[in-house]
Structure 1
Amino acid sequence: MTTLAPTAALRAFVRRFIVVEFSSDLRDAHWPDTSATAAFSFRGRVRLDGERWAPASAFTALRGTVRAHEHRDRHGVVLVAFTPIGAAALLRAPLAGFSGATSDLADVLDRRGELDRLHDALSAAADRRERIALVERFLVERLRDARPDRLIAAATATLERTHGALRIADLARDAGLSQSALERRFKRVVGVAPKAFAAIARLRHARALHASGADAATIAHAAGYYDQSHYINDFRRATGSAPETYYRAAG
């Protein structure tokens, strides 16, 4: 795996580029994230939740549940992790209709020929840095005239910094908007409501606390859940299992 930061032209829209190459078939789990992603496969393929094969150029919006990936045939992929406001600028469309789904980027952008040429170039590229450069050039052209929504960027940064432990009414007040106006604008730009975004940020913080060795009661308190039961219920909604059961199965 190789990770690179974007150039200055993309910094408001892209958090990082990641190239992952699998040497054998592998199944893994992808946790909910506060970043929508674009994935450009250049070798092999990946199946989502055991149901369908992902398109060669795929866009995945924010989702609140863990997703299973099955990587086959030495899968190789360039991933673009967007900032919370970056994907809307790329798609040039409200993100609310994409929430929780993986879409064919060629259909969304109506640029199948261009994406087919990008796929061929990625497959023929000499190394990972060249592949990232190819994707970066594609995005720079697409985002040339884009303007980031700085108000929503600030709101998402606050929710991430506080790990979702902030009342949405307070977030709206700080933004100078009514709560309903903030929620409409947030959902249009980010794809989910502020409350759902905060829940993802809180769950990711809880996972990091577990990795540090904290027990469930400590995690619930430190991550801002009302109580341990609330933490367990949120975790179960995201993974299908209680924390203890999930982490035991994951090894």
Structure 2
Amino acid sequence: MRFDKVSPTAALAPYIKYYVIAENAQAEQYTVFPSTSLVIGFQYSGSLAQVKDAFVSPLSISGITGLSNSFKVFRNSPDIGTVLVYFTETGLIHFTANPAHELFNQSVGIDYIFPLAKVREAEERLALAANDAERVAVMDRFFLSLLKEVVLDRLIVEAVRRIYAAKGVIKIKALQEELFISQSPFEKRFRSLVGTSPKKFASIVRFNAVMGDLGKARSLTELCYEYGYFDQAHFIKDFKQFTGKTPEGFK
């Protein structure tokens, strides 16, 4: 099994964090936890399915997964090969006019947001690519062909920065006041650009910060206090929603 990170071409770097080229010779079922990136996956060999409540739903050769407030379970075939594309928090708008929040908790084919002809061409070129350099070149060409000029909403970019700076432990009402914007337009603009509400985004940021600290020698009480949970019961409930397990069970 391999999971190799590769940078996109410089023109795409402000909008795409990185590509991942992943291969696995074995059929496996695995869990993906919520993150702050929308992710596109192109299968250049093998196939992938989503598993939910014992139902197995085959996924498209190429698909996009939006932000989520819960874990997802996937099952891959043997000899799967995938290129994953991780967007920056505000990157998607530079490639499609579709609001990002339409993809919340969804895994759909990318022809939902991109022209079908371009998608099929990229899929075919990836299937023929002989090595990682050729796969990256296919991805760069695909996204450069879709790239468009957009006047970025700097207020939302600043909101995202402040949420990260606070590790997700932030009062959204106070954030609105600091940015001099009322609730309704703030929520609408944030959801459209980032893919979920400011409150849910902050909870995902907080979860990932907790995950970074979980392996350290720290008690649950300390984590609850640092990350603003009312008590351990609330912390455990949130953690189980994001991972399907309790903190102790996760360790």
- With structure 1 as the length reference, what TM-score do the two structures score? 0.91
Residue 188 of structure 1 and its aligned partner are, at CA, apart by 1.3
2:17 and 2:149 map into 1 onto residues whose CA distance is: 19
Whether 2:223 is the aligned partner of 1:219: answer yes
The answer to whether the 8 A contact 1:86-1:148 is kept is: no
| Aligned counterpart, 1:210 | 214
Name whichever of 14-23 and 125-134 sits farther off: 125-134
2:18 and 2:246 map into 1 onto residues whose CA distance is: 31
| Aligned counterpart, 1:71 | 76
The answer to whether the 8 A contact 2:118-2:142 is kept is: no
Instruction: From 236, 240, 245, give the equivalent of 1:241.
Output: 245
Instruction: From 29, 36, 39, give the equivalent of 2:38.
Output: 36
Pairs within 5 Å for 1:59-138: 59-109=64-114, 111-138=115-142
In structure 2, relative to structure 1, the CA distance for the partners of 1:148 and 1:23 (3 Å cut) is farther
| Aligned counterpart, 1:19 | 21
User: Does the residue aligned with 1:165 lie in a helix, a strand or coil?
Assistant: coil
Residue 12 of structure 1 and its aligned partner are, at CA, apart by 2.4
Name whichever of 196-205 and 85-94 sits farther off: 85-94
The answer to whether the 8 A contact 1:57-1:105 is kept is: yes
Instruction: From 153, 172, 180, give the equivalent of 2:176.
Output: 172
1:129 and 1:2 map into 2 onto residues whose CA distance is: 12
Whether 2:11 is the aligned partner of 1:6: answer no
Residue 221 of structure 1 and its aligned partner are, at CA, apart by 1.8
The answer to whether the 8 A contact 1:2-1:128 is kept is: no
Amino acid at match of 2:18: R
- With structure 2 as the length reference, what TM-score do the two structures score? 0.91
Name whichever of 48-57 and 14-23 sits farther off: 48-57
The answer to whether the 8 A contact 1:15-1:82 is kept is: yes
In structure 2, relative to structure 1, the CA distance for the partners of 1:131 and 1:148 (3 Å cut) is farther
Residues 181-223 of structure 1 deviation map (CA, whole Å, 9 limit, x = unaligned): 2111101111210000001111111111112232322222222
Amino acid at match of 2:240: R
In structure 2, relative to structure 1, the CA distance for the partners of 1:107 and 1:94 (3 Å cut) is closer
User: Does the residue aligned with 2:47 lie in a helix, a strand or coil?
Assistant: strand
User: Does the residue aligned with 2:46 lie in a helix, a strand or coil?
Assistant: strand
The answer to whether the 8 A contact 1:44-1:74 is kept is: yes
User: Does the residue aligned with 1:204 lie in a helix, a strand or coil?
Assistant: helix
The answer to whether the 8 A contact 1:64-1:238 is kept is: yes
Q: Unmatched 5+ residue regions in structure 1?
A: none
* RMSD of Structure 2 on Structure 1 (CA): 1.7
Residue 145 of structure 1 and its aligned partner are, at CA, apart by 2.4
Residues 79-107 of structure 1 deviation map (CA, whole Å, 9 limit, x = unaligned): 11111111233231112222110111113
Residue 16 of structure 1 and its aligned partner are, at CA, apart by 1.2
The answer to whether the 8 A contact 2:6-2:18 is kept is: yes
2:198 and 2:9 map into 1 onto residues whose CA distance is: 28
Query: How many percent of aligned residue pairs carry the same amino acid?
Result: 26
Pairs within 5 Å for 1:46-57: 46-49=48-51, 50-57=55-62
Residues 142-191 of structure 1 deviation map (CA, whole Å, 9 limit, x = unaligned): 11323433322221122122211111122223323112221111011112
In structure 2, relative to structure 1, the CA distance for the partners of 1:141 and 1:195 (3 Å cut) is same
| Large movers: runs of 4+ above 6 Å | none
Instruction: From 24, 44, 47, give the equivalent of 1:45.
Output: 47
Name whichever of 168-177 and 63-72 sits farther off: 168-177
Equivalent residues, number: 246
In structure 2, relative to structure 1, the CA distance for the partners of 1:210 and 1:127 (3 Å cut) is same
